Structure 1
Amino acid sequence: MDKNWFSTPQEIREGIKYLSAHFYPVGIMDRWRILKKLSFEKAKVIANYSLQQVIEEIEHFDFFNEYFKEDPLTTVRLPSSYVKLFDGLVEDFQSPRWKENVVTRFHMITEGVLATIGLKILNETSRKYNLLEFNDGIKRIIEDEARHVNFGLSLIEDKEYAVKRVEELFPLAVQIVKEGKEKIEPLGYSIEELVNLMEELKKARINKILGS
Protein backbone atom coordinates (compact mmCIF):
# COMPACT_ATOMS: atom_id res chain seq x y z
CA MET A 1 0.00 0.00 0.00
CA ASP A 2 1.18 3.53 -0.76
CA LYS A 3 2.46 5.40 2.29
CA ASN A 4 0.19 8.33 1.46
CA TRP A 5 -2.97 6.21 1.14
CA PHE A 6 -4.48 7.18 4.49
CA SER A 7 -3.64 10.86 3.96
CA THR A 8 -5.54 10.85 0.66
CA PRO A 9 -9.02 12.47 1.00
CA GLN A 10 -11.59 10.03 2.33
CA GLU A 11 -14.04 10.38 -0.56
CA ILE A 12 -11.19 9.62 -2.97
CA ARG A 13 -10.18 6.54 -1.00
CA GLU A 14 -13.79 5.38 -0.85
CA GLY A 15 -14.20 5.83 -4.60
CA ILE A 16 -11.00 3.93 -5.35
CA LYS A 17 -12.00 1.13 -2.99
CA TYR A 18 -15.48 0.98 -4.50
CA LEU A 19 -14.16 0.55 -8.04
CA SER A 20 -11.40 -1.82 -6.92
CA ALA A 21 -14.00 -4.09 -5.34
CA HIS A 22 -15.54 -4.56 -8.79
CA PHE A 23 -12.27 -6.21 -9.81
CA TYR A 24 -11.85 -8.07 -6.52
CA PRO A 25 -15.29 -8.58 -4.91
CA VAL A 26 -13.82 -10.26 -1.85
CA GLY A 27 -16.90 -9.70 0.30
CA ILE A 28 -19.12 -11.86 -1.93
CA MET A 29 -16.67 -14.03 -3.86
CA ASP A 30 -17.92 -17.20 -2.21
CA ARG A 31 -21.14 -16.72 -4.15
CA TRP A 32 -19.20 -17.44 -7.36
CA ARG A 33 -16.55 -19.86 -6.08
CA ILE A 34 -17.53 -22.32 -8.84
CA LEU A 35 -16.26 -19.85 -11.46
CA LYS A 36 -12.61 -20.69 -10.79
CA LYS A 37 -13.26 -24.38 -11.44
CA LEU A 38 -15.36 -23.67 -14.53
CA SER A 39 -12.75 -21.25 -15.90
CA PHE A 40 -9.91 -23.75 -15.64
CA GLU A 41 -12.06 -26.52 -17.15
CA LYS A 42 -13.01 -24.42 -20.16
CA ALA A 43 -9.47 -23.05 -20.54
CA LYS A 44 -8.27 -26.59 -21.25
CA VAL A 45 -10.67 -26.79 -24.21
CA ILE A 46 -9.39 -23.63 -25.91
CA ALA A 47 -5.91 -23.57 -27.41
CA ASN A 48 -3.27 -20.89 -27.05
CA TYR A 49 -3.81 -18.09 -24.54
CA SER A 50 -6.85 -19.15 -22.52
CA LEU A 51 -5.14 -20.67 -19.47
CA GLN A 52 -2.73 -17.74 -19.26
CA GLN A 53 -5.71 -15.38 -19.15
CA VAL A 54 -7.22 -17.24 -16.18
CA ILE A 55 -3.88 -17.05 -14.38
CA GLU A 56 -3.65 -13.31 -15.03
CA GLU A 57 -7.13 -12.75 -13.60
CA ILE A 58 -6.00 -14.50 -10.41
CA GLU A 59 -2.90 -12.29 -10.33
CA HIS A 60 -5.21 -9.25 -10.49
CA PHE A 61 -7.05 -10.56 -7.43
CA ASP A 62 -3.70 -10.97 -5.68
CA PHE A 63 -2.73 -7.36 -6.43
CA PHE A 64 -5.90 -5.89 -4.92
CA ASN A 65 -5.77 -8.29 -1.96
CA GLU A 66 -2.19 -7.35 -1.14
CA TYR A 67 -2.63 -3.62 -1.70
CA PHE A 68 -5.72 -3.29 0.49
CA LYS A 69 -4.50 -5.55 3.30
CA GLU A 70 -4.55 -2.62 5.77
CA ASP A 71 -7.85 -1.21 4.47
CA PRO A 72 -9.81 -4.29 3.31
CA LEU A 73 -12.34 -4.25 0.48
CA THR A 74 -14.69 -6.42 2.54
CA THR A 75 -16.36 -3.21 3.73
CA VAL A 76 -17.43 -2.28 0.17
CA ARG A 77 -21.01 -3.01 -0.80
CA LEU A 78 -21.46 -3.73 -4.50
CA PRO A 79 -24.71 -2.99 -6.38
CA SER A 80 -27.31 -5.68 -7.06
CA SER A 81 -26.80 -5.16 -10.79
CA TYR A 82 -23.16 -6.27 -10.42
CA VAL A 83 -24.29 -9.42 -8.63
CA LYS A 84 -26.75 -10.08 -11.45
CA LEU A 85 -23.98 -9.73 -14.05
CA PHE A 86 -21.81 -12.39 -12.44
CA ASP A 87 -24.67 -14.70 -11.54
CA GLY A 88 -25.29 -14.70 -15.27
CA LEU A 89 -21.65 -15.57 -15.96
CA VAL A 90 -22.02 -18.78 -13.94
CA GLU A 91 -25.05 -19.66 -16.06
CA ASP A 92 -23.15 -18.80 -19.24
CA PHE A 93 -20.32 -21.21 -18.43
CA GLN A 94 -22.87 -24.00 -18.02
CA SER A 95 -24.90 -23.20 -21.15
CA PRO A 96 -24.76 -25.09 -24.49
CA ARG A 97 -23.36 -22.00 -26.24
CA TRP A 98 -20.97 -21.32 -23.38
CA LYS A 99 -18.09 -20.00 -25.48
CA GLU A 100 -19.93 -17.10 -27.11
CA ASN A 101 -22.06 -16.49 -24.03
CA VAL A 102 -18.95 -16.11 -21.86
CA VAL A 103 -17.11 -14.05 -24.47
CA THR A 104 -19.95 -11.56 -24.83
CA ARG A 105 -20.69 -11.18 -21.12
CA PHE A 106 -17.11 -11.30 -19.83
CA HIS A 107 -14.72 -10.23 -22.59
CA MET A 108 -16.95 -7.74 -24.42
CA ILE A 109 -19.11 -6.23 -21.64
CA THR A 110 -17.29 -6.86 -18.34
CA GLU A 111 -13.75 -6.32 -19.64
CA GLY A 112 -14.42 -4.44 -22.87
CA VAL A 113 -16.75 -1.84 -21.39
CA LEU A 114 -16.99 -1.90 -17.59
CA ALA A 115 -13.36 -2.71 -16.78
CA THR A 116 -12.15 -0.25 -19.40
CA ILE A 117 -14.13 2.53 -17.74
CA GLY A 118 -13.16 1.49 -14.21
CA LEU A 119 -9.47 1.18 -15.02
CA LYS A 120 -9.46 4.57 -16.75
CA ILE A 121 -10.82 6.18 -13.58
CA LEU A 122 -8.47 4.25 -11.28
CA ASN A 123 -5.46 5.04 -13.45
CA GLU A 124 -6.18 8.76 -13.70
CA THR A 125 -7.22 9.17 -10.06
CA SER A 126 -4.26 7.28 -8.59
CA ARG A 127 -1.89 9.30 -10.77
CA LYS A 128 -3.54 12.56 -9.71
CA TYR A 129 -3.19 11.72 -6.01
CA ASN A 130 0.34 10.33 -6.36
CA LEU A 131 -0.60 6.77 -5.40
CA LEU A 132 2.34 5.39 -7.36
CA GLU A 133 2.29 1.77 -6.17
CA PHE A 134 -1.41 1.48 -6.90
CA ASN A 135 -0.98 3.17 -10.28
CA ASP A 136 1.77 0.74 -11.32
CA GLY A 137 -0.52 -2.19 -10.56
CA ILE A 138 -3.42 -0.66 -12.45
CA LYS A 139 -1.29 -0.02 -15.53
CA ARG A 140 -0.27 -3.69 -15.62
CA ILE A 141 -3.92 -4.73 -15.37
CA ILE A 142 -4.85 -2.36 -18.23
CA GLU A 143 -2.31 -4.12 -20.46
CA ASP A 144 -3.67 -7.54 -19.51
CA GLU A 145 -7.30 -6.55 -20.05
CA ALA A 146 -6.60 -5.24 -23.55
CA ARG A 147 -5.16 -8.64 -24.50
CA HIS A 148 -8.13 -10.42 -22.92
CA VAL A 149 -10.62 -8.43 -24.99
CA ASN A 150 -8.75 -9.22 -28.20
CA PHE A 151 -8.54 -12.87 -27.24
CA GLY A 152 -12.30 -12.96 -26.69
CA LEU A 153 -12.87 -11.50 -30.15
CA SER A 154 -10.90 -14.36 -31.67
CA LEU A 155 -13.31 -16.91 -30.16
CA ILE A 156 -16.49 -15.51 -31.72
CA GLU A 157 -17.94 -17.61 -34.52
CA ASP A 158 -21.56 -16.43 -34.78
CA LYS A 159 -21.16 -12.68 -35.17
CA GLU A 160 -24.88 -11.90 -35.37
CA TYR A 161 -25.54 -13.79 -32.13
CA ALA A 162 -22.62 -12.08 -30.40
CA VAL A 163 -23.78 -8.58 -31.40
CA LYS A 164 -27.30 -9.37 -30.18
CA ARG A 165 -25.90 -10.53 -26.83
CA VAL A 166 -23.76 -7.41 -26.41
CA GLU A 167 -26.80 -5.20 -27.06
CA GLU A 168 -28.89 -7.21 -24.57
CA LEU A 169 -26.26 -7.06 -21.82
CA PHE A 170 -25.26 -3.43 -22.26
CA PRO A 171 -28.16 -1.92 -20.24
CA LEU A 172 -27.05 -3.99 -17.23
CA ALA A 173 -23.56 -2.53 -17.54
CA VAL A 174 -25.03 0.98 -17.61
CA GLN A 175 -27.10 0.17 -14.53
CA ILE A 176 -23.97 -0.94 -12.66
CA VAL A 177 -22.28 2.39 -13.35
CA LYS A 178 -25.36 4.43 -12.49
CA GLU A 179 -25.76 2.61 -9.17
CA GLY A 180 -22.23 3.67 -8.27
CA LYS A 181 -22.92 7.38 -8.78
CA GLU A 182 -22.38 8.39 -5.12
CA LYS A 183 -18.90 6.83 -5.08
CA ILE A 184 -17.80 7.61 -8.62
CA GLU A 185 -18.77 11.25 -9.12
CA PRO A 186 -16.65 12.56 -6.17
CA LEU A 187 -13.64 11.26 -8.13
CA GLY A 188 -14.42 13.93 -10.73
CA TYR A 189 -16.42 11.98 -13.29
CA SER A 190 -19.96 12.65 -14.51
CA ILE A 191 -22.09 9.52 -14.81
CA GLU A 192 -23.66 10.96 -17.96
CA GLU A 193 -20.24 11.37 -19.56
CA LEU A 194 -19.22 7.86 -18.52
CA VAL A 195 -22.38 6.38 -20.03
CA ASN A 196 -21.61 8.21 -23.28
CA LEU A 197 -18.11 6.73 -23.22
CA MET A 198 -19.62 3.30 -22.58
CA GLU A 199 -21.79 3.74 -25.68
CA GLU A 200 -18.67 4.49 -27.70
CA LEU A 201 -16.91 1.43 -26.31
CA LYS A 202 -19.92 -0.77 -27.05
CA LYS A 203 -19.99 0.42 -30.66
CA ALA A 204 -16.24 -0.17 -30.96
CA ARG A 205 -16.60 -3.74 -29.65
CA ILE A 206 -19.48 -4.44 -32.04
CA ASN A 207 -17.50 -3.06 -34.97
CA LYS A 208 -14.59 -5.30 -33.99
CA ILE A 209 -16.92 -8.32 -33.80
CA LEU A 210 -18.35 -7.62 -37.25
CA GLY A 211 -14.91 -6.99 -38.67
CA SER A 212 -13.19 -9.97 -37.07
Structure 2
Amino acid sequence: MMETFHEFYYKSKLPRNTPDYKVQNATKRNVVIIVSQPNDEILWAGGIILKHQKAWNWHIICLCQRQNEEGISKFKKALKALKVNGAIMSLDDGTEIKTSNQKILEKAIIQNLPPCEIDLIITHNPKREHAGYTKDIGKAVITLWQNGTIRTRSLWCFAYQDKSQSFYPRAIIGADFYYPLHELVVRVKHRLLNEIYGIGLESPEIFTCPASEAFWSFTNSSKAFNWLNKQNNKVMKHT
Protein backbone atom coordinates (compact mmCIF):
# COMPACT_ATOMS: atom_id res chain seq x y z
CA MET A 1 0.00 0.00 0.00
CA MET A 2 2.83 2.39 0.78
CA GLU A 3 4.08 2.02 -2.80
CA THR A 4 0.94 3.69 -4.13
CA PHE A 5 2.13 7.13 -2.97
CA HIS A 6 5.41 6.76 -4.86
CA GLU A 7 3.68 5.42 -7.99
CA PHE A 8 0.97 8.07 -7.88
CA TYR A 9 3.54 10.87 -7.77
CA TYR A 10 6.11 9.60 -10.24
CA LYS A 11 3.57 8.29 -12.78
CA SER A 12 1.67 11.58 -12.68
CA LYS A 13 2.03 14.23 -15.37
CA LEU A 14 3.57 16.68 -12.94
CA PRO A 15 6.28 18.59 -14.86
CA ARG A 16 9.64 18.15 -13.18
CA ASN A 17 10.94 21.58 -14.22
CA THR A 18 8.13 23.64 -12.71
CA PRO A 19 9.27 27.07 -11.46
CA ASP A 20 7.90 26.03 -8.03
CA TYR A 21 11.18 24.30 -7.24
CA LYS A 22 14.06 26.24 -8.68
CA VAL A 23 16.37 24.98 -5.96
CA GLN A 24 20.01 24.16 -6.57
CA ASN A 25 20.08 20.37 -6.83
CA ALA A 26 22.88 19.67 -9.30
CA THR A 27 24.68 17.49 -6.75
CA LYS A 28 23.48 15.02 -4.17
CA ARG A 29 22.62 16.75 -0.91
CA ASN A 30 22.41 15.43 2.64
CA VAL A 31 19.32 17.06 4.11
CA VAL A 32 18.03 16.80 7.69
CA ILE A 33 14.54 17.84 8.78
CA ILE A 34 13.93 18.35 12.51
CA VAL A 35 10.29 18.58 13.63
CA SER A 36 8.29 18.54 16.86
CA GLN A 37 5.60 15.96 16.10
CA PRO A 38 4.68 13.23 13.61
CA ASN A 39 3.05 14.61 10.42
CA ASP A 40 4.94 17.94 10.62
CA GLU A 41 7.33 16.56 8.01
CA ILE A 42 4.41 16.25 5.57
CA LEU A 43 2.50 19.38 6.57
CA TRP A 44 5.39 21.85 6.28
CA ALA A 45 7.93 20.17 3.98
CA GLY A 46 6.16 17.31 2.18
CA GLY A 47 6.31 19.07 -1.17
CA ILE A 48 10.05 19.69 -1.11
CA ILE A 49 10.65 16.09 0.03
CA LEU A 50 8.57 14.69 -2.83
CA LYS A 51 10.27 16.92 -5.38
CA HIS A 52 13.78 15.91 -4.32
CA GLN A 53 12.93 12.44 -3.02
CA LYS A 54 15.52 10.74 -5.22
CA ALA A 55 18.02 13.57 -5.75
CA TRP A 56 18.67 14.29 -2.06
CA ASN A 57 19.52 12.05 0.90
CA TRP A 58 16.83 12.73 3.51
CA HIS A 59 16.94 12.15 7.28
CA ILE A 60 13.90 13.23 9.31
CA ILE A 61 14.16 13.66 13.08
CA CYS A 62 11.01 13.96 15.17
CA LEU A 63 11.46 15.15 18.76
CA CYS A 64 8.13 14.88 20.60
CA GLN A 65 7.23 16.11 24.05
CA ARG A 66 5.07 13.05 24.51
CA GLN A 67 4.28 10.28 22.05
CA ASN A 68 2.58 6.88 22.27
CA GLU A 69 3.47 3.73 20.36
CA GLU A 70 0.77 4.38 17.78
CA GLY A 71 2.21 7.80 16.92
CA ILE A 72 5.72 6.35 16.66
CA SER A 73 4.45 3.56 14.39
CA LYS A 74 2.68 6.05 12.10
CA PHE A 75 5.82 8.18 11.82
CA LYS A 76 7.86 5.14 10.80
CA LYS A 77 5.24 4.30 8.15
CA ALA A 78 5.55 7.86 6.83
CA LEU A 79 9.32 7.44 6.52
CA LYS A 80 8.78 4.25 4.55
CA ALA A 81 6.18 5.86 2.28
CA LEU A 82 8.46 8.82 1.57
CA LYS A 83 11.42 6.46 1.12
CA VAL A 84 13.61 8.39 3.56
CA ASN A 85 15.57 7.65 6.73
CA GLY A 86 14.82 9.11 10.13
CA ALA A 87 14.35 8.73 13.87
CA ILE A 88 11.74 9.61 16.46
CA MET A 89 12.35 10.30 20.15
CA SER A 90 9.91 11.09 22.94
CA LEU A 91 11.30 13.64 25.39
CA ASP A 92 8.65 12.94 28.00
CA ASP A 93 10.28 13.32 31.40
CA GLY A 94 7.02 14.17 33.16
CA THR A 95 7.32 17.89 32.46
CA GLU A 96 6.88 20.10 29.43
CA ILE A 97 10.00 20.97 27.49
CA LYS A 98 10.49 24.70 27.97
CA THR A 99 13.30 27.16 27.34
CA SER A 100 14.80 26.24 30.73
CA ASN A 101 15.08 22.65 29.47
CA GLN A 102 16.89 23.70 26.29
CA LYS A 103 19.88 21.48 27.08
CA ILE A 104 17.64 18.40 26.91
CA LEU A 105 16.49 19.43 23.47
CA GLU A 106 20.00 20.21 22.24
CA LYS A 107 21.28 16.84 23.45
CA ALA A 108 18.43 15.04 21.64
CA ILE A 109 19.21 16.87 18.39
CA ILE A 110 22.92 15.97 18.55
CA GLN A 111 22.07 12.37 19.42
CA ASN A 112 19.85 11.85 16.37
CA LEU A 113 21.84 13.58 13.63
CA PRO A 114 23.12 11.24 10.89
CA PRO A 115 26.88 10.53 10.79
CA CYS A 116 27.59 12.45 7.59
CA GLU A 117 28.34 15.96 6.37
CA ILE A 118 25.09 17.92 6.35
CA ASP A 119 24.32 20.28 3.49
CA LEU A 120 20.97 21.55 4.72
CA ILE A 121 18.90 21.48 7.91
CA ILE A 122 15.19 22.32 7.72
CA THR A 123 13.38 23.03 10.97
CA HIS A 124 10.81 25.13 12.83
CA ASN A 125 10.79 28.90 12.94
CA PRO A 126 11.85 30.07 16.43
CA LYS A 127 9.21 32.77 16.09
CA ARG A 128 6.73 29.84 16.01
CA GLU A 129 4.52 29.21 13.01
CA HIS A 130 1.85 27.62 15.18
CA ALA A 131 1.16 26.74 18.81
CA GLY A 132 3.41 24.40 20.76
CA TYR A 133 7.05 24.19 21.72
CA THR A 134 8.21 24.20 18.09
CA LYS A 135 10.00 27.54 18.52
CA ASP A 136 12.35 25.91 21.04
CA ILE A 137 13.47 23.38 18.44
CA GLY A 138 14.31 26.16 15.98
CA LYS A 139 16.15 28.03 18.71
CA ALA A 140 18.14 24.94 19.73
CA VAL A 141 19.22 24.21 16.14
CA ILE A 142 20.40 27.79 15.56
CA THR A 143 22.23 27.88 18.91
CA LEU A 144 24.04 24.60 18.19
CA TRP A 145 24.99 25.84 14.72
CA GLN A 146 26.27 29.14 16.06
CA ASN A 147 28.45 27.58 18.75
CA GLY A 148 29.89 25.06 16.30
CA THR A 149 28.39 21.94 17.89
CA ILE A 150 26.63 21.03 14.66
CA ARG A 151 27.69 21.87 11.13
CA THR A 152 25.59 22.51 8.07
CA ARG A 153 26.15 24.49 4.90
CA SER A 154 22.72 26.09 5.19
CA LEU A 155 19.61 26.27 7.34
CA TRP A 156 15.97 26.71 6.35
CA CYS A 157 13.30 27.63 8.89
CA PHE A 158 9.62 27.12 8.08
CA ALA A 159 7.99 30.39 7.01
CA TYR A 160 4.27 30.22 7.78
CA GLN A 161 1.84 32.54 9.51
CA ASP A 162 -1.64 32.23 10.99
CA LYS A 163 -2.09 35.62 12.69
CA SER A 164 -2.56 34.09 16.16
CA GLN A 165 -4.65 31.26 14.65
CA SER A 166 -7.13 33.63 13.01
CA PHE A 167 -6.80 31.55 9.81
CA TYR A 168 -5.19 28.30 8.68
CA PRO A 169 -1.37 28.53 8.33
CA ARG A 170 -0.24 30.14 5.10
CA ALA A 171 3.18 30.21 3.48
CA ILE A 172 4.74 33.68 3.66
CA ILE A 173 5.01 34.98 0.11
CA GLY A 174 7.93 37.25 1.00
CA ALA A 175 10.05 34.44 2.48
CA ASP A 176 13.46 33.61 0.99
CA PHE A 177 12.02 30.53 -0.70
CA TYR A 178 8.33 30.37 -1.63
CA TYR A 179 6.98 27.39 -3.56
CA PRO A 180 3.34 27.14 -4.73
CA LEU A 181 2.71 23.40 -4.89
CA HIS A 182 1.31 21.64 -7.91
CA GLU A 183 -2.21 20.31 -7.28
CA LEU A 184 -0.98 16.71 -7.56
CA VAL A 185 1.65 17.30 -4.87
CA VAL A 186 -1.02 18.67 -2.52
CA ARG A 187 -3.12 15.57 -3.22
CA VAL A 188 -0.20 13.30 -2.33
CA LYS A 189 0.33 15.22 0.92
CA HIS A 190 -3.36 14.83 1.76
CA ARG A 191 -3.24 11.11 1.01
CA LEU A 192 -0.22 10.63 3.26
CA LEU A 193 -1.92 12.51 6.10
CA ASN A 194 -5.14 10.55 5.59
CA GLU A 195 -3.88 7.02 4.98
CA ILE A 196 -0.95 7.05 7.41
CA TYR A 197 -1.94 9.50 10.12
CA GLY A 198 -5.70 8.92 9.91
CA ILE A 199 -6.57 12.58 9.31
CA GLY A 200 -9.96 12.89 7.62
CA LEU A 201 -9.94 14.50 4.19
CA GLU A 202 -12.70 16.88 5.32
CA SER A 203 -11.31 17.50 8.81
CA PRO A 204 -10.06 20.94 9.93
CA GLU A 205 -6.56 19.49 10.31
CA ILE A 206 -6.33 18.64 6.60
CA PHE A 207 -6.95 22.31 5.80
CA THR A 208 -3.92 23.12 7.97
CA CYS A 209 -1.82 21.57 5.19
CA PRO A 210 -0.71 24.58 3.10
CA ALA A 211 -0.89 24.58 -0.69
CA SER A 212 2.46 26.39 -0.80
CA GLU A 213 5.66 25.87 1.16
CA ALA A 214 8.02 28.62 2.30
CA PHE A 215 11.32 28.88 4.15
CA TRP A 216 13.64 31.49 5.63
CA SER A 217 17.15 30.66 4.44
CA PHE A 218 20.56 31.13 6.08
CA THR A 219 24.05 30.20 4.93
CA ASN A 220 25.77 31.92 7.84
CA SER A 221 25.27 30.85 11.46
CA SER A 222 25.96 34.34 12.85
CA LYS A 223 23.23 35.86 10.69
CA ALA A 224 20.82 33.14 11.83
CA PHE A 225 21.75 33.80 15.46
CA ASN A 226 21.22 37.55 15.06
CA TRP A 227 17.86 36.86 13.44
CA LEU A 228 16.97 34.64 16.41
CA ASN A 229 17.87 37.40 18.88
CA LYS A 230 15.73 39.90 16.97
CA GLN A 231 12.81 37.48 17.18
CA ASN A 232 13.36 37.05 20.95
CA ASN A 233 13.47 40.82 21.47
CA LYS A 234 10.16 41.23 19.63
CA VAL A 235 8.57 38.61 21.89
CA MET A 236 9.94 40.29 25.03
CA LYS A 237 8.52 43.68 23.99
CA HIS A 238 5.07 42.16 23.72
CA THR A 239 5.08 40.33 27.07
- Using the size of structure 1 for normalisation, the TM-score is 0.32
- Using the size of structure 2 for normalisation, the TM-score is 0.29
Q: Which has the higher strand share?
A: 2
Higher relative contact order (CA 8 A, sep 6+): 1
Q: Which has the higher helix share?
A: 1
